[in-house]
Amino acid sequence: MSTDRIIFSRPRRAAGELANLEAVLSSDHSHGDGPFTAAATEKLRRITGAPHVLLTTSCTHALEMAGLLLELGPDDEVIVPSFGFTSTATAMALRGATVVFADIDDRGNIDADSVAAAITERTKAIMVIHYGGVAAEMDRLLALAESRGIAIVEDNAHGLGGSWRGRPLGTIGAVGALSFHDTKNVHCGEGGALLLTDDILMARAEIMREKGTDRARFLRGAVDKYSWQDIGSSYLPSELNAAVLDAQLADFDAIQAGRFRVWNSYAAALPDWAARNDVRLMRVPADREHTAHLYYLRTPTEQRRDDLIDHLRAQGISAPFHYVPLDSSPAGLKLGRTPNPCVRTAEFSSTLIRLPLWPDLTDAQVARVVEAVTDFTV
Ligand SMILES: *Cc1c(COP(=O)(O)O)cnc(C)c1O
């Protein structure tokens, strides 16, 4: 048996990357909003169906822009899943808003009952992370938000190309955010995008992205000079990032096919072992399409999770866990409020393990991972 290390994640190279980079570097234009920004934006519009797409320097920055667009301030509260990446919370805390933590459901998504219990008259937004690219229970969340005039912001870092009841993830709430960090399905090193449906928010967002100026309107010839219009920051990525992103997006179908091959292999090979060992596997309900961003399983206890990670490591397989609960983190305790204990987050976080998943993982490597996992008695 081969003992080559199987790493957890490796970004896939896209065919056109070097040619695109060469084109940017040999042009006079490597700052943002050039031809590759336009081309990548158009591809994202096609994949997501979003009327408005703005490339950003990261998903975190797209979420910061959401906070600016919603005019969050110190009197406001934003409900955030306690199981998630820090960006979702810190982008809101940066505006001075109080982060209010809600618990998750059995798929790792923000739980509507927990959200309902956390809403106050100060609640201005609900943050949704579609964990692993599997949509949250959007009907209940939309009903809660719409009846109270609360905005839903989708942190869709995992979910490019996913959908809920036919609706593309990232376009269901008022604002959607994508990540092109190199651990995500499509990447440009560091990058992101803001997805909007509302024309008025879009007009404001393109100013906020460009240091508060109407440079975008100037570039379209709509005004004869550009000037300071609004608050904003430098959220526009360079053409170098857009060039890599455009090449990656051109290969999107191949990237996804590679990831689904691995995901489907795990999903087909592990159920018998899981049933014998009281292990819960990642599941996707029939009314939503996922993105094969990650594959996780959950052991009955934290001790056995840690043992399984050690067992895999001994066989050269890297299988980490993630998301230390936000509600009990140092910043969460200082900047947030937790109306009800997030018990499912604590359980999810302490029993989860992620298997290696990237498009160029070979079938032989996938078979080795399956063999190593199913060798283990939980
Ligand atoms: C990766 C990730 C982010 C941050 O993305 P960046 O582009 O690195 O800012 C935010 N939220 C979630 C759920 C993520 O997985």
User: What tens digit of pLDDT does each residue of 174-222 get?
Assistant: 999 999 999 999 999 999 999 999 999 999 999 999 999 999 999 999 9
Q: Is the CB of 157 under 6 A from ligand 1?
A: yes
Assess whether 366 and 294 both reside in one domain: yes
Count the domains in the chain: 2
User: 225 alpha carbon to ligand 1 midpoint, in Å?
Assistant: 35
pLDDT at 378: 87
Where in the chain does DSSP place strands (E)? 52-56, 77-81, 98-102, 123-129, 151-155, 163-164, 167-168, 175-179, 192-196, 280-281, 288-289, 296-298, 336-337, 352-354
User: 85 alpha carbon to ligand 1 midpoint, in Å?
Assistant: 7
Q: Which of 197, 215, 250 is a domain's end point? A: 250
Taking 60 as the threshold, does the pLDDT of residue 2 lie above it? no
Name the residue of 80, 181, 321, 357 to mutate for ligand 1: max ligand atoms within 8 A of Cβ. 181
User: What tens digit of pLDDT does each residue of 107-161 get?
Assistant: 999 999 999 999 999 999 999 999 999 999 999 999 999 999 999 999 999 999 9
Task: Give CA 298 to chain center in angstroms.
Answer: 21
Q: Which of 222, 250, 278 is a domain's end point? A: 250
Assess whether 225 and 334 both reside in one domain: no
- pTM of the shown model: 0.97
User: 177 alpha carbon to ligand 1 midpoint, in Å?
Assistant: 9
Q: Is the CB of 129 under 6 A from ligand 1?
A: yes
Backbone angles phi, psi at 100, to 5 degrees: -115, 120
Taking 80 as the threshold, does the pLDDT of residue 226 lie above it? yes
Assess whether 151 and 242 both reside in one domain: yes
pLDDT at 3: 65
CB of 171 within 8 A of CB of 296? no
Assess whether 306 and 360 both reside in one domain: yes
User: What tens digit of pLDDT does each residue of 330-341 get?
Assistant: 999 999 999 999
Q: Is the CB of 293 under 6 A from ligand 1?
A: no
Q: Is the CB of 156 under 6 A from ligand 1?
A: no
Assess whether 81 and 142 both reside in one domain: yes
Assess whether 287 and 215 both reside in one domain: no
Which one of the listed residues 43, 124, 184, 211 is annotated catalytic? Answer: 184
Assess whether 68 and 205 both reside in one domain: yes
CB of 153 within 8 A of CB of 126? yes
Q: Is the CB of 66 under 6 A from ligand 1?
A: no
Q: Is the CB of 358 under 6 A from ligand 1?
A: no
Assess whether 261 and 358 both reside in one domain: yes
User: 129 alpha carbon to ligand 1 midpoint, in Å?
Assistant: 10
User: 227 alpha carbon to ligand 1 midpoint, in Å?
Assistant: 32
SS3 155: strand
Question: In the predicted model, what is the mean pLDDT of the chain?
Answer: 97
Note the residue count of the chain: 378
Q: Is the CB of 17 under 6 A from ligand 1?
A: no
Q: Is the CB of 90 under 6 A from ligand 1?
A: no
User: What tens digit of pLDDT does each residue of 27-72 get?
Assistant: 989 999 999 999 999 999 999 999 999 999 999 999 999 999 999 9
List all residues 6 or more positions away from 6 whose beta carbon is below 8 Å from its beta carbon. Answer: 316, 317, 318, 356, 361, 365, 368, 369
Task: Give CA 310 to chain center in angstroms.
Answer: 28
Does residue 225 have an active-site annotation? Answer: no
Assess whether 283 and 370 both reside in one domain: yes
Q: Is the CB of 57 under 6 A from ligand 1?
A: no
Query: Which residue CA neighbors atom 15 of ligand 1 most closely?
Result: 157
Query: Which residue CA neighbors atom 14 of ligand 1 most closely?
Result: 157
Taking 80 as the threshold, does the pLDDT of residue 1 lie above it? no
Assess whether 187 and 258 both reside in one domain: no
Q: Give the domain range for residue 262.
A: 252-374
Assess whether 214 and 295 both reside in one domain: no
Q: How far apart are CA 138 and CA 265, in angstroms?
A: 28
Assess whether 306 and 370 both reside in one domain: yes
Q: How far apart are CA 43 and CA 85, in angstroms?
A: 26
**Domain contains 12:** no
Q: What is the average per-residue pLDDT within 234-260? A: 98
CB of 83 within 8 A of CB of 325? yes
CB of 298 within 8 A of CB of 352? yes
User: What tens digit of pLDDT does each residue of 61-95 get?
Assistant: 999 999 999 999 999 999 999 999 999 999 999 99
Name the token pair of 258.
Answer: 């590679």
Residue 84 CA: nearest ligand 1 atom is: 13
Q: How far apart are CA 38 and CA 170, in angstroms?
A: 20
Query: Which residue CA neighbors atom 2 of ligand 1 most closely?
Result: 157
**Domain contains 2:** no
User: What tens digit of pLDDT does each residue of 254-283 get?
Assistant: 999 999 999 999 999 999 999 999 999 999
List all residues 6 or more positions away from 124 whose beta carbon is below 8 Å from its beta carbon. Answer: 70, 72, 76, 77, 78, 97, 150, 151
**Domain contains 7:** no
Query: Which residue CA neighbors atom 6 of ligand 1 most closely?
Result: 59
